[in-house]
Amino acid sequence: MTPRVREILSWYGSDNPGTLSNLAKLMNHGRLKGTGKLVILPVDQGFEHGPTRSFAKNPDGYDPNYHIELAIESGCNGYAAPLGFIEAVARDYAGEIPLILKINNSDSLYGSKSPISALSSNIEDALRLGCSAIGFTIYPGSSDRKQMYEEIAQASALAKKAGLAVIVWAYPRGEQLSKEGETAIDVVAYAAHIACQLGAHIVKVKPPTAFLEQEAAKKVYETNGVKISTLADRTRNVVQSCFNGKRIVIFSGGETKGTDELLKEVKEMAMGGSFGSIMGRNAFQRPKKEAIKLLQDVMDAFSGAR
């Protein structure tokens, strides 16, 4: 156990040894093991956007084995997916990489201004499949937030009892948020804080923009001179909002984009104190070799080993 991993675990003083072991397992796996940094491969896009939209570009991705192999070969800390994809690989790859069961999901055949995902699996599934953590999406800003927060609160209580870690995807979205506001720094930092207060061990957000959505927040950012002009600044604001850096917060890659642009973003976020990346489409929609190179470049940006 490296001192850094030990330090990070010390922030989770209310968790049982089971949960700490699973957090340690995530941090002590793969190319970034022991650094306290995490790169995770998530593959729920088939559910969220449809199989052809997700996998036609690189048809190997239709196969559930492909993704877990990509995660293992590139040296990711963990692999996250919905029930079906995890069930398809859990036995054959048992013990090869920490698994994260994404227990709620949404699809794109119906869209709503008050989004809320469906509970597609549960803590017992995570246990029987040998997972280390559950993943859960909240949409702060949705008028259905009460139900959502209660769902994660209940799932989280069960997960913690069972010694699992809890990872919350925090995506602001809802009736009273503008499109731009969904990635505004004030809103993203707020959403990350909510996830932490709900008891998440690890939070995932999108890279925030310099836009400020809420009038009351804007005033405070300006009055107190909170820096948000660079992505590193904004990352710092988000990290601070996660209990002053005492909760792990990682950032997604977002829409597929060019490799250079993506790595530049990742480096900025690493500078701002990000604990890592969670990167799906940018990885699995490329040929495997390229994807492995990209993922490892991202990891190296975090480990500073390059």
**Known catalytic residue at 37:** no
Q: Rg (Cα) of the chain, in Å, rounded?
A: 18
The answer to whether 142 contacts a second copy (rule: CB under 8 A) is yes
- For the CB of residue 299, give the shortest distance to a second copy in the complex, in Å: 28
Query: Is residue 146 involved in binding a second copy (CB under 8 A)?
Result: yes
Nearest distance in Å: CB 85, a second copy = 7
Q: Which of 17, 18, 41, 46 is nearest to 29 (CA)?
A: 41
The smaller minimum CB distance to a second copy, of residues 174 and 298, is found at: 174
Binder among 35, 36, 38, 47 for a second copy (CB under 8 A)? 47
Neighbouring-strand partners of residue 165:
133
**Contacts (CB under 8 A) with a second copy, residues 261-300:** none
304 binds a second copy (CB under 8 A): no
In whole angstroms, the minimum distance from the beta carbon of 33 to a second copy comes to 25
Phi first, then psi: give them for residue 43, nearest 5 degrees. Answer: -130, 80
Site for a second copy in 217-246 (CB under 8 A): 217, 220-221, 224, 226, 237, 240-241, 243-244, 246
Q: What are phi and psi of 276, to 5 degrees?
A: 150, -170
CB of 166 to a second copy, least distance (A): 11
Q: Is 305 among the residues that bind a second copy (CB under 8 A)? A: no
Residues between 14 and 33 with contacts to a second copy, criterion CB under 8 A: 14-15
Beta carbons within 8 Å of 246's beta carbon, 6+ residues apart: 11
Give residue for tokens 């909002």.
241
Q: Is residue 129 involved in binding a second copy (CB under 8 A)?
A: yes
User: Which spans in the chain are helix H?
Assistant: 3-10, 17-27, 45-49, 51-55, 64-74, 83-89, 123-128, 145-161, 185-197, 215-223, 231-241, 259-271, 281-284, 288-303
CA distance 263 to 102: 26
**Strand pairing class (104-105; 118-119):** antiparallel
Q: Nearest to residue 191, comparing CAs of 242, 266, 116?
A: 242
Question: What mask, x for binding a second copy by CB under 8 A, covers residues 102 to 121?
Answer: ---x-xxxxxx---xxxxxx
Among the options 33, 37, 102, 204, which is catalytic?
A: 204
**Can residue 67 be called a binding residue for a second copy (CB under 8 A)?**
no
Binding residues for a second copy restricted to 157-216, rule: CB under 8 A: 157, 172, 174-177, 186-187, 189-191, 193-194, 196-200, 214, 216
Cite the active site residues: 204
